Structures are given as structure tokens and as C-alpha cells.
Amino acid sequence: MRTRTHEDRDRAAELRDAIDRTGYYPEVVADGVRSALAGEQVVSFHLHHEPTFDRDEVRRHLTVVVLTPTRLVLAHTDEHQGDDLLPEPYTSTSTEAIALSSVKSVVVTRMVTSPATGEGQVAEAVLTIGWGGAGRLDLEPASCSDPQCDADHGYTGNFTSDDFSLRVSAAAEGADAVTRLLAFADSLSARTQSA
């Protein structure tokens, strides 16, 4: 039986406050996240607000990653300047909910400055989560150890589960953003070990 921890409290109000602080269409983002949560408790979360560049336009993108007791919820909200179908500016929000039992890998990469001193800081972190929804196949021609061989050995490669990846940099988003991403990764890892 799992013991009760500080993560057992519902952090839904904190999540809503964080969404409001971004100032990025908070009602739209909160509505999409609330709908995807389906009433579940918020164990941990991370928000990542980033611009995207499309020719001479800057568009904003907000990713909200939420951990519940049973699921991982991803929400992406983008803004659009309008097009032939919708001439006025609009947003689009996509959500995905993944059962924790489906999460196959939680990969955390930390880039630490001045590691030799023992006092280095995590300058950047990348969280990659795989559940088998999407993958990447990297192929290259296979070879043998004989440098004179000109036979066709087929192909070799790697298949990598790469469903979701998020990179946070202290230089761009601040050291607190890196710390929050690592805390979210710790919570997710702890929950998926028994899922």
C-alpha cells in the first residue's frame, strides 16, 4: 500500500493560477485542460509557454502537462491569425490523456554547467515520455568489419518511442522553470513505477 505524500493533495487551484499567470487565453486553456482531466485530482503539472515562428509572424504555443493519479494529460493550445475557413484570429486546443499503465519510458536529460566543481547548475533539461503512440525509426546501411567488402548487408537501425518531448532552458525560461520540469519528471517517474 502506497503511503500518503504531499503529492496526494489536489493541486487543481495551483494549476489554474499558473494558467492565469501566463496570460495566454487562460479561459480557453483552462477549459481544455479541465475537460481532459474529467474531474480527476491534479497530482503534478508543468506549463511551457513558447513562441513559434512562421515566416514573418510570431505565434504563441502553450503546453500543459498534468499528472493525475491514473493518467498523464497533455494539452496544447496554439493561436492562429485566421485563414480562408476562419477569417478572424482563433485558437486551437488539443488534449490527449494517456493511462499511466501505458507509459513505457520517462527519459530525463540534464545539462549541468561546471560539473567538475561539484557545484554545477542544471542549465537545461529535456523530458521525453514514450507510450507507444508514435515512434521514430532511424535507418542506415548495414556494414561488416571487412573494409574490402562491397556486399549489400541490408539496413540497420533504431526504433525510438518519442511520443512527447519538452526542453526547458534556464537561459530562456529561467532556473525555476527547469526546477519545475524536473519536479514534474520525478512525480511522473514515481507514479509510473507502480502503474
Instruction: Count CA atoms within 13 Å of residue 159 on its CB side.
Output: 4
pLDDT in tens, 163-189: 899 999 999 999 999 999 999 999 999
**Residue for cell digits 519545475?**
180
52 lies in the same domain as 133: no
| Interval 107-131: pLDDT, tens | 999 999 988 887 789 999 999 998 8
98 and 117 housed in the same domain: no
Same domain as 86, residue 42? yes
Number of domains in the chain: 2
Query: 74 pLDDT exceeds 60?
Result: yes
Let me know if residue 166 belongs to a domain: no
29 compared with 141, residue with greater pLDDT: 29
> Mind listing the pLDDT tens digit for each residue in 76-108?
999 888 788 888 989 999 999 999 999 999 999
Q: What is the pLDDT of residue 195?
A: 54
Predicted TM-score of the model (pTM): 0.79
Closest CA to 29 of 70, 66, 76, 67: 76
Q: Are residues 11 and 96 in the same domain?
A: yes
73 with 89, same domain? yes
pLDDT at 82: 78
The pLDDT score that the predictor gives to residue 55 is 73
Considering the domain architecture, whether residues 57 and 97 belong to the same structural domain is answered as yes
Is residue 1 situated within a structural domain?
no
Segment holding 80, helix H or strand E: strand 71-80
Q: Which domain holds residue 23?
A: 6-102+175-192
